[in-house]
Amino acid sequence: MNGKVLDLSGLGDQVLKDTTYKEYSINKKLTIVSYIDNKLCSECFAKYLMVAEKYIDQFYSDEIQYVCIAYPRPLSDLQHALSLRDVDSSKVMVIYDVNNVFRKNNNIERTKIALCSFLIGSDHKIITTGDPIRNVRMYNYCKEIIESVLLPKPGMVIQ
């Protein structure tokens, strides 16, 4: 899937603790996109969001964000999960994909959970797949890639 453009059009609303937004943008230099189904309870989802925020925090950059696309769980469950943790929506965005558009647009099968997370560039091309929150090797691998893009070493050429 590396190099494929991830289609993020037509998704649902951005969810905050007590409201939803129809207008939002996914346009950072780097974005981690995770598709989260209803297998995680609200408390587990809240913990996942908290860990995702800590992961993003370590880069000290406004050029990266984590986007969690949630389906098929009730909106009230998402808002409950968000109320359990104080998650910064500029770092971790939750999108309620009420019609499962993300999976349909990107032809994603219900297979391994690890393949439902993607590191993408500003052009939405997939750089790598795998969940850095649930997999230690992916945590470190994505961290290396992110640091090489956000904190290039002198003389390093980034393509």
Residue 3 near residue 125 (C-beta atoms within 8 A): yes
Identify the residue whose tokens are 């409950």: 80
Q: Domains in the chain, ordered, with CATH? A: 13-150 (3.40.30.10)
Output the pLDDT for position 144: 96
Q: What is the dihedral sign for C-alpha 116, 130, 2, 95?
A: positive
Q: How many angstroms separate the first and last alpha carbons of the chain?
A: 18
Name the pairing type of β-strands 92-96 and 13-15: antiparallel
Residue 101 three-state SS: helix
| Chain segment 98-129, per-residue pLDDT in tens | 888 888 888 877 655 545 899 999 999 999 99
Output the pLDDT for position 113: 52
Residue 16 pLDDT class (50, 70, 90 cuts) = confident
Residue 76 pLDDT class (50, 70, 90 cuts) = confident
| Chain segment 77-103, per-residue pLDDT in tens | 888 888 888 889 899 999 998 888 888
Torsion angle, alpha carbons of 21, 15, 59, 4, to 10: -80
The Cα–Cα gap between 41 and 2 comes to: 30
Alpha-helical runs (H) found in 21-100: 42-57, 75-84
Output the pLDDT for position 29: 95
Q: Which of 100, 94, 12, 113 lies closest to 50 in space, CA to CA?
A: 94
